Amino acid sequence: MEPAWLWLLGAGILASVYCQPFPAHGDKSVGVSQTHSGQFSESAPAYHKVTPAITDFALRLYKQLAAETPGNILFSPVSISTTLALLSLGARADTSTQILEGLGFNLTETPQADIHRGFQSLIHTLDLPSPKLELKVGNSLFLDKQLKPRQQFLDNIRELYGAFAFSANFTDSATTGRRINEYVRKQTYGQVADCLQEFTEDTLMVLLNFIFFK
């Protein structure tokens, strides 16, 4: 009875790992709210600075996806906004501003530093152990060898997003594809295999976000 239902829920969400070569719009998801209901009494945690914008982003994106795709739609606004916010750390001023404004942030009201601290707090909160559910969120970046990221960017994404960057050879797309799939398979305890079907020849970066939910 209940276990079957839980399994279906788990399977649905596992199938939703966001794993598309950037900038493909993809997937799929799990809500944010469950894990921290009951915690709202503590004085405004940093993620309160980002959750309203993520909710608005979710609704705007849903509207757009629903117009293009009939039927049920499953996607993860948290995954998409997290990876794009992470990416903004590696962009120059104008691009960085455009990414964050595109996600719906008003940078006058919420300075960039607060946004990144907000995501840091959100990821941390989602990762907190809970007796009722297991939730693991992760971000990674696979960068082509010809891209040389700055150390500051690598330090920031690790500190704020818990993200790791890996160097890959995208000219050898078969090997790199296998490597990425193997990485996701390990991170999701074998539940998500071959999530990345293919990427185009001119791919230089794959932004990866996964959510394991049980």
Ligand X SMILES: *[C@@H]1O[C@H](CO)[C@@H](O)[C@H](O)[C@H]1NC(C)=O
Distance from C-alpha of 142 to C-alpha of 94, rounded to nearest angstrom: 24
Per CB under 6 A, which region of 35-43, 104-112, 120-128, 188-196 contacts ligand X? 104-112
Q: In angstroms, what is the minimal distance from the CB of 104 to ligand X? A: 10
Distance from C-alpha of 147 to C-alpha of 159, rounded to nearest angstrom: 21
Distance from C-alpha of 166 to C-alpha of 169, rounded to nearest angstrom: 10
Distance from C-alpha of 110 to C-alpha of 126, rounded to nearest angstrom: 22
Amino acid, single-letter form, for residue 119:
F
For residues 43 and 108, which CB has a smaller minimum distance to ligand X in the complex?
108
Q: What are phi and psi of 122, to 5 degrees?
A: -65, -45
Q: In angstroms, what is the minimal distance from the CB of 98 to ligand X? A: 13
Q: In angstroms, what is the minimal distance from the CB of 146 to ligand X? A: 8
Which one of 134, 155, 159, 172 is in contact with ligand X (CB under 6 A)? 172
108 binds ligand X (CB under 6 A): yes
Amino acid, single-letter form, for residue 172:
D
Give the three-class secondary structure for 208: strand
Largest Cα–Cα separation, the chain: 53
106 binds ligand X (CB under 6 A): yes
Which one of 42, 94, 109, 198 is in contact with ligand X (CB under 6 A)? 109
Per CB under 6 A, which region of 64-72, 164-172, 183-191, 204-212 contacts ligand X? 164-172
Distance from C-alpha of 65 to C-alpha of 185, rounded to nearest angstrom: 28
Per CB under 6 A, which region of 48-56, 77-85, 105-113, 190-198 contacts ligand X? 105-113
Interface contacts to ligand X, rule CB under 6 A: 106, 108-109, 145, 169, 171-172
